[in-house]
């Protein structure tokens, strides 16, 4: 199927309205600063308030992109149908037991959002003993919000008589909370600015939630009797530092409500007994800059996953529940350099930790009665492994998920007592999938400073490494986030068309431990971009592809990655797909009113007060390093109500790139006028966005 971009259509030329900014004695000018709506906070809640000139420009950009890509429609539709055909239409999660019931989420054929249900079970065997009961029909709810619908947390009370859930109808991530009896109709609680999470107390009436401030930051925890419309929300905790975000949940046992105040490098946790929700919260251990910790309760102790005392790859400490200050912590499982402890879960008799070593994960189980340990690992060269948690604490059963680039996702229940492993579910691919048709490799490339960077590759078996194949190079590389080498049905639409799919596990993530993250942030941020470019170059040298056949793909901070890589070596790339890209780094990190700016200074540096941070950011910020040159085709996307990467970042970047483009490749901007950071929320609608990206990749790599 041949599809091409139309390159003879006049592109929008955004007006230039230079705006000068001076900080730290340095003056810079921004021709496109006008694209930021001065009233952006109000616009997030009501998009009709968007400045008419900005709206007109964004709509012009959308029209241009649609016209340029008009001939891609048959290909896009074909890819969409392929991806849709790989999704089981009536997929369901494995039921998760909780006392007398088991809960799951299920789709009916054609559903975008599905429904939530429960079934009565035998408490000994966990087998169902009745017919499933629908407790929330999300599909029906979505019909009331045709422009945008996203469901936040869905949580039942301890007595299992009540269900609470949140609805975002704009994409701005402000959720209205509703409550309903399991068989009743939902009632709005009047809570409209929840950040999405919610937590029941043991009295089955008190609800805790986090609210956002005027700058869209989750800053305070409130509580109220969720059944009493006259009960006014009471403030439980308010964060005074705009650099810290707040969340609320519960400990593993469910005995404590847990309030966490955190940025990317520092944590402070407060606890409230769940059976006494009126209690004033107690601080576990006061925040100390650079000290992270999470809390897990078991057997009269809190087990604390932390990087304290130089534990770069984290250690587990413990403290008596009555004495939790930092000085009361004692070593339990010591730090082992090179073995990153990703997370832990506690049960009444067991402590489980997920670790990553040599870029591969494994699960280690400790019997808390005698201290004995055993682990769960797999033999493939690259795979993803994740703990799935559950409702029950007093159980020997652990649930985890496994997949690899060639192996569909499997869900296992594992008996920590007997070591019995039960396969509960294997991801179905209705249109068919034969793992032997594909080859997965994990290779190491040598970066320019000599560091070994892991790269995961997926391609059709029998690939000839003669440089003729196009290659999609994906990366992220920020906040310590590691892209797992898991199974993704969507990418097969590219691989089946001859693409090599590559994930570069670059510095800034934690593929090789926490130090891997530290070596890709702040003053070392350039390592992230260098690793990505060096991975692309190495794959060219190895014959997987050729210069000009690499498509760079990244989203959010991954958009920063591909933008910086493009500036560094534009000829390497045949095209760039940048989804909701964080590319105006200097301006964004200099605007302390934006939702994410103060909390992210530990990641990027604060250019308002630190001259070196200003210099570092200015050196790599994609928007600030555009030059007159031939750029390859770009597809840039954004969301009008995105509170994470605001719409004007991709809009400004597209305008400036186009103004500096000396070649004839199109610079395309597509702003979703009815969504935010996550794009479309339905399971099929979201595929349409991916299908467009992949159709673009195919079109620009055709000879």
| Residues noted as catalytic | 556, 642, 677
Helix locations, 86-157, DSSP H: 138-142
Question: Of the candidates 499, 579, 482, which has an alpha carbon nearest to the alpha carbon of residue 539?
Answer: 499
Structure tokens at 607: 């250019």
Number of H helices and E strands in the chain, helices first, is 13, 38
Cα 648 from chain centroid? Answer: 21
Structure tokens at 456: 């995961």
CB atoms within 10 A of CB 26: 12
Q: What are phi and psi of 376, to 5 degrees?
A: -120, 125
Structure tokens at 27: 């003056």
430 SS3 class:
coil
CB atoms within 10 A of CB 447: 20
Alpha-carbon distance of 12 to 273, in angstroms, equals 59
657 SS3 class:
helix
Q: Where are the beta strands (DSSP E) in 88-216?
A: 96-98, 101-106, 115-120, 133-137, 150-156, 162-168, 176-181, 187-188, 194-200, 206-212
The strand order across the sheet containing 452-460 reads 438-446, 452-460, 500-504, 471-474, 550-555, 573-579, 634-639, 667-672
**DSSP at 695:** H
Question: Of the candidates 317, 397, 316, which has an alpha carbon nearest to the alpha carbon of residue 350?
Answer: 397
Q: What is the dihedral of CA 182, 188, 193, 195, to 10 degrees?
A: 0
b/e 600-632 (16+ beta carbons within 10 angstroms → b): bbbbbbbbbeeeebbebbeebbbbbebeeeebb
Question: Of the candidates 534, 600, 598, which has an alpha carbon nearest to the alpha carbon of residue 561?
Answer: 534
Contact criterion met (CB below 8 Å) for 618 and 586: yes
Contact criterion met (CB below 8 Å) for 134 and 117: yes
Exposure of 453 by Cβ count < 10 A (0-12 exposed, 13-18 middle, 19+ buried)?
A: buried
Question: Of the candidates 673, 647, 515, 530, which has an alpha carbon nearest to the alpha carbon of residue 579?
Answer: 647
Asked whether the CA dihedral 198, 201, 207, 213 is positive or negative, the reply is negative
479: phi > 0 → left, psi -120 to 50 → alpha, else beta; which?
left
CA 47-634-479 angle, 5° bins: 70
Contact criterion met (CB below 8 Å) for 40 and 18: no
């Amino acid at each position: 199927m041949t599809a091409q971009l139309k390159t003879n259509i006049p592109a929008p030329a955004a007006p230039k309205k230079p705006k000068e900014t001076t900080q730290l004695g340095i003056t810079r000018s921004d021709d496109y600063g006008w694209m930021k709506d001065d009233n952006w906070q109000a616009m997030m809640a009501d998009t009709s308030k968007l400045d008419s000139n900005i709206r007109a420009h964004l709509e012009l950009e959308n029209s241009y992109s649609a016209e340029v890509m008009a001939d891609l429609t048959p290909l896009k539709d074909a890819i969409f149908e392929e991806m849709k055909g790989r999704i089981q239409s009536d997929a369901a999660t494995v039921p998760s037991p909780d006392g007398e019931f088991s809960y799951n989420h299920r789709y009916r054929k054609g559903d975008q959002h599905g429904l939530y249900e429960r079934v009565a079970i035998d408490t000994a065997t966990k087998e169902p003993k009745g017919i499933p009961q629908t407790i929330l029909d999300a599909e029906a709810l979505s019909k009331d919000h045709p422009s945008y619908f996203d469901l936040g947390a869905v949580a039942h009370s301890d007595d299992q008589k009540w269900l609470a859930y949140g609805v975002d109808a704009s994409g701005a991530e402000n959720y209205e909370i509703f409550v309903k009896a399991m068989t009743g109709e939902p009632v709005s609680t009047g809570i409209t600015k929840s950040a999405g999470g919610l937590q029941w107390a043991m009295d089955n009436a008190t609800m805790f939630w986090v609210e956002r401030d005027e700058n869209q930051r989750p800053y305070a925890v409130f509580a109220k009797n969720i059944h009493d419309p006259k009960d006014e929300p009471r403030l439980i905790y308010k964060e005074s530092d705009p650099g810290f975000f707040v969340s609320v949940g519960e400990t593993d046992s469910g005995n404590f409500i847990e309030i966490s105040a955190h940025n990317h490098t520092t944590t402070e946790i407060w606890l409230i007994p769940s059976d006494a929700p009126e209690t004033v919260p107690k601080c576990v251990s006061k925040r100390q800059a650079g000290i992270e910790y999470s809390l897990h309760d078991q057997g009269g102790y809190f087990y604390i996953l932390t990087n304290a005392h130089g534990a770069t790859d984290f250690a587990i400490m413990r403290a008596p529940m009555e004495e939790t200050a930092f000085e009361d912590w004692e070593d339990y499982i010591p730090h082992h350099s090179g073995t990153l402890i990703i997370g832990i879960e506690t049960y009444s008799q067991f402590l489980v930790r997920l670790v990553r070593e040599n870029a591969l994960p494994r699960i280690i189980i400790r019997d808390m009665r005698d201290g004995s340990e055993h682990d769960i690992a797999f033999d493939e060269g690259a795979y993803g492994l994740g703990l799935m948690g559950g409702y029950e604490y007093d159980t020997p059963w652990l649930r985890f998920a496994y997949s690899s680039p060639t192996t569909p996702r499997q869900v296992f229940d594992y008996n920590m007592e007997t070591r019995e492993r039960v396969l509960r579910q294997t991801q179905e691919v209705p249109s068919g999938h034969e793992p032997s048709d594909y080859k997965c490799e994990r290779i190491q490339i040598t970066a320019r400073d000599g560091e070994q960077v892991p790269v995961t590759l997926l391609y059709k078996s029998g690939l000839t490494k003669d440089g003729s194949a196009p290659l999609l190079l994906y990366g992220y590389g920020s906040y310590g986030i590691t892209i797992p080498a898991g199974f993704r049905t969507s990418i097969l639409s590219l691989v089946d068309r001859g693409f090599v799919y590559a994930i570069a596990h670059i510095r800034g993530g934690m593929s090789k431990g926490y130090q891997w993250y530290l070596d890709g942030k702040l003053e070392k941020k350039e390592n992230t971009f260098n690793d990505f470019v060096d991975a692309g170059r190495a794959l060219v040298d190895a014959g997987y592809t050729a210069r000009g056949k690499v498509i760079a793909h990244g989203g959010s901070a991954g958009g920063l990655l591909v933008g910086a890589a493009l500036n560094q070596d534009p000829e390497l790339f045949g095209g760039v797909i940048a989804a909701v890209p964080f590319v105006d780094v200097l301006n964004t990190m200099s605007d302390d009113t934006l939702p994410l700016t103060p909390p992210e200074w530990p990641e990027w540096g604060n250019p308002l007060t630190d001259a070196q941070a200003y210099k570092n950011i200015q050196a790599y910020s994609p928007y600030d390093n555009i030059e007159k040159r031939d750029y390859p085709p770009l597809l840039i996307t954004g969301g009008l109500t995105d509170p994470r990467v605001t719409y004007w970042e991709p809009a400004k970047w597209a305008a400036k790139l186009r103004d500096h483009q000396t070649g004839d490749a199109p610079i395309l901007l597509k702003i979703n006028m009815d969504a935010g950071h996550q794009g479309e929320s339905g399971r099929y609608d979201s595929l349409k966005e991916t299908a467009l990206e992949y159709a673009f990749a195919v079109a620009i790599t055709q000879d």
